């Protein structure tokens, strides 16, 4: 328990050896370290001083959260980082989703390793102004499962914050796991003294996702983290009509591909349809979606991003959706949201950029 670190064999939800409740709380019952923690001298965690020193060179710290997994939170974190870096900001992306680190793939950095210098751990760089840190770079095998209890996860998050040398950054984007668990409590606790700009919460339109997002909003309010806004992702499937396949169902239930015939018919009879965008509601948004929830809970609604197969492809390939015209449906929606964030919260950065 050197320097107040939580031991690896501690119980889940360990309050930490420096806590006033160390060795005394319900979570300490049966822990092999209970007696040591109860009698050890208490005091401020010296690692928090080291974290504050590291964070002193970072202007803005943004948490990206979600109530549920699979809503596109990491995709948003990746594209937000790409967009900020494209504006010539110095950007860091920290992946604290310890059990499901997808950021290395979404940034095109699979197979990269972390290097250490006399200044600390060096991030892995996509561009000279976009660095990334993730446990994904530390796994010997990408299929390796990370089976860690809360204390060990929290220890790695603390190590990322105090040992990674980012240098001067305009923005540090923190991609958190879904929910409101140990990792979320830890990142807020470790960064609170250094100042967190706020959290962006990503959801999908249906109630089963929004129920958990409400919990996420309440979590932010309880721990004092401002909600910068909510993004409704996968807000309807949108793509050019010519990107669809057209199928005809037979009486036996089998599908026959009739795409070629349909396209040929449209070319001859209705050529104006060839440039149309087709849209369909994938998730039920009859309850009002994220916009209604934001109004009810008094938090900003940032906008909607449609479910775009080309954005999914960009994430799979580890590319920015802004570099070409392929993500013609999703990229403009993301750009509007990111411009709104910068205008509302960091206008001074835009004036510096200009």
Question: Which segments of the chain are extended strands (E)?
Answer: 58-66, 91-95, 115-117, 120-122, 124-127, 130-134, 169-175, 198-203, 227-240, 247-249, 255-257, 277-280, 301-307
The binding site for ATP comprises 67-74
Distance CA 306, CA 330 (A): 6
- Single out the residue of 179, 167, 255 nearest to residue 213, CA to CA: 179
* Furthest CA-CA distance within the chain: 85
The answer to whether residues 188 and 92 touch, using CB atoms and an 8 Å cutoff, is: no
The binding site for [4Fe-4S] cluster comprises 14, 28, 31, 37
Helices (H), 273-329: 289-297, 309-317
The binding site comprises 14, 28, 31, 37, 67-74
Tokens 């964030």 — which residue? 341
Distance CA 302, CA 119 (A): 38
Specify the DSSP class assigned to residue 109: -
């Amino acid at each position: 328990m050197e320097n107040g670190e939580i031991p690896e064999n501690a119980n889940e939800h360990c309050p930490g050896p420096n806590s006033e409740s160390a060795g005394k709380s319900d979570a300490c019952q049966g822990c092999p370290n209970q007696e040591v923690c109860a009698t050890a001298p208490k005091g401020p965690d010296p690692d928090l001083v080291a974290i504050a020193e590291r964070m002193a060179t970072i202007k803005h710290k943004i948490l990206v959260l979600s109530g549920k997994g699979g809503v596109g939170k990491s995709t948003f974190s990746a594209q937000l980082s790409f967009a900020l870096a494209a504006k010539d900001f110095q950007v860091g992306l920290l992946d604290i989703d310890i059990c499901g680190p997808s950021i290395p793939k979404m940034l095109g950095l699979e197979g990269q390793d972390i290097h250490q210098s006399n200044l600390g751990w060096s991030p892995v760089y996509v561009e000279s102004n976009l660095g990334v840190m993730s446990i994904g770079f530390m796994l010997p095998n990408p299929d390796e499962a990370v089976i860690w209890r809360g204390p060990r996860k929290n220890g790695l998050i603390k190590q990322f914050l105090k040992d990674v040398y980012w240098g001067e950054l305009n923005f540090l984007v923190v991609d958190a796991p879904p929910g409101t668990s140990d990792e979320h409590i830890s990142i807020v606790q470790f960064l609170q003294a250094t100042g967190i700009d706020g959290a962006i919460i990503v959801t999908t339109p249906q109630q089963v996702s929004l129920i958990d997002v409400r919990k996420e909003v309440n979590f932010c309010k309880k721990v004092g983290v401002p909600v910068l806004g909510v993004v409704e992702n996968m807000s309807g499937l949108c793509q050019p009509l010519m990107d669809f396949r057209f199928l005809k169902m037979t009486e036996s239930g089998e599908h026959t591909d009739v795409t070629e015939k349909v396209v040929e018919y449209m070319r001859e009879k209705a050529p104006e349809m060839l440039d149309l965008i087709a849209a369909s509601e994938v998730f039920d948004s009859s309850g009002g979606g994220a916009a209604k929830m934001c109004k009810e809970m008094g938090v900003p609604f940032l906008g909607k991003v449609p479910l775009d197969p080309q954005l999914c492809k960009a994430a799979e390939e580890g590319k920015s959706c802004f570099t070409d015209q392929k993500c013609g449906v999703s990229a403009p929606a993301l750009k509007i949201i990111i411009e709104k964030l910068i205008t509302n919260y960091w206008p001074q950065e835009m004036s510096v950029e200009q």
